[in-house]
Amino acid sequence: MFGLLNKKKNNNGADCPNGECIGDEVKIAVRQVNVTLGGRKVLDNVDLDIKTGKTLVIMGLSGMGKSTMIRSILRLQEPESGMIFFEGQDILKLREHDLDEVRSRIGMVFQKAALFDSMTISENVGFGLKEQKKLKGPELEKRVLEMLDIVDLAGKENSLPSELSGGMQKRASLARVLCYRPEVILYDEPTTGLDPIICNVINKLIMDMKQRFGVTSVVVTHDLDSAKMIADEIAMLHMGKIIEKGTPEEFFNSSNPIVKQFVKGSSEGPIKV
Ligand SMILES: Nc1ncnc2c1ncn2[C@@H]1O[C@H](COP(=O)(O)OP(=O)(O)OP(=O)(O)O)[C@@H](O)[C@H]1O
Ligand SMILES: [Mg+2]
């Protein structure tokens, strides 16, 4: 099977689950994950490999479970069954302390900005660095100002989130995660609602994090141009299943009628609107 090596032990030395082994090239392996929400099977026995140092884009119609998928990786959503291996260890079996350790290595940029209302933008952006990396004083301030400059928010350090536009808040929440450089970053629609120029800045940042720091990324987006630009692989989630996965070229030339309709944005086809 794709991404799996035939060896006796996982990359962390543990026994292989279900007789299959996960090689070093896979950072996170999702196996047979099931999530039911509001009486509907949102994730139906989903398998997905997220490769080390690569960018995986997840696409799909609204309500198909993309946010649920990435929330499950952090256990912000608890799957009712399945396994999610982070470097070979099943996150779903971890107890609080070990889970916190894994969570500190995975950053998430939420679909909504999720900033702390009572903190200034610089306090918000420095939050992860202070908590996760124990940075303080001038060193913390320097990193925060550098990052605000990169996301084009220089001069806004003393503003409160409520004083910023939605797009600005989103960039601040992105800066907060990029600032502490986690090994894995999960982005939930990082460019939705942003103008095309800022959109491009964000896409370049995502690519830059991969090239400079070897970050493994999962990006949920509806934006086909962004996906083409940043993805090593694109997966499509539909009716609880991954119905297609491949390089951007493979994805955009897929023969699957649902994928074809999706990339064309057509109202004609198997997806009824
Ligand atoms: N807490 C909840 N309780 C009940 N149903 C929920 C809950 N959270 C999500 N859902 C439902 O689960 C489904 C998947 O939601 P999810 O937010 O993962 O979709 P999505 O693919 O991210 O959609 P979008 O593109 O609109 O962000 C939706 O039908 C949603 O209504
Ligand atoms: Mg979503």
Distance 61 CA to ligand 2 centre (A): 9
Is residue 120 one of the residues assigned to a domain? yes
Alpha-carbon gap, residue 244 to 234, rounded angstroms:
8
Domain count, the chain: 1
Is the predicted pLDDT of residue 5 greater than 60, yes or no?
no
Is residue 196 one of the residues assigned to a domain? yes
Residues 196 and 167 sit within 8 Å (Cβ to Cβ): no
Is the predicted pLDDT of residue 138 greater than 70, yes or no?
yes
Instruction: List, in sequence order, every residue forming a beta bridge with 34; answer none if it has no partner.
Output: 81
Closest CA to 85 of 32, 149, 143, 39: 32
> Probe ligand 1: pick from 66, 112, 221, 239, max atoms within 8 Å of CB?
66
Give the CA distances from residue 103 to residues 25, 205, 232, in Å, rounded to whole numbers and listed in that order. 20, 22, 24
Q: Mean pLDDT over all residues of the chain?
A: 90
> Probe ligand 1: pick from 34, 46, 62, 67, max atoms within 8 Å of CB?
67
Is residue 271 one of the residues assigned to a domain? no
Model confidence over 24-83: pLDDT tens digits?
A: 899 999 999 999 999 999 999 999 999 999 999 999 999 999 999 999 999 999 999 999
Print the domain residue range for 164: 52-75+97-263
Rounded CA Rg of the chain: 19
CA atoms within 13 A on the CB side of 208: 11
Alpha-carbon gap, residue 175 to 153, rounded angstroms:
9
Is the predicted pLDDT of residue 118 greater than 90, yes or no?
yes
Is residue 86 one of the residues assigned to a domain? no
- CATH number for the domain spanning 184: value is 3.40.50.300
Is the predicted pLDDT of residue 103 greater than 60, yes or no?
yes
Q: Which residues line ligand 1 (CB under 6 A)?
A: 37-38, 42, 60, 62-68, 111
Tell me the pairing of strands 55-59 and 233-238: parallel
Predicted local confidence at residue 39, as pLDDT: 93
Alpha-carbon gap, residue 163 to 230, rounded angstroms:
31
Q: With 0-12 CB in 10 A as exposed, 13-18 as middle and 19+ as buried, what is 8?
A: exposed
Is residue 46 one of the residues assigned to a domain? no
Is residue 181 one of the residues assigned to a domain? yes
Distance 67 CA to ligand 2 centre (A): 4
Tell me the pairing of strands 216-220 and 55-59: parallel
Confidence class for position 12, pLDDT limits 50, 70, 90? low
Predicted local confidence at residue 129, as pLDDT: 85
Alpha-carbon gap, residue 126 to 108, rounded angstroms:
15
Predicted local confidence at residue 2, as pLDDT: 41
Predicted local confidence at residue 7, as pLDDT: 43
Distance 41 CA to ligand 1 centre (A): 11
Nearest CA to ligand 1 atom 24: 62
Is residue 214 one of the residues assigned to a domain? yes
User: Against a cut of 0.85, is the pTM above it?
Assistant: yes
Is residue 11 one of the residues assigned to a domain? no
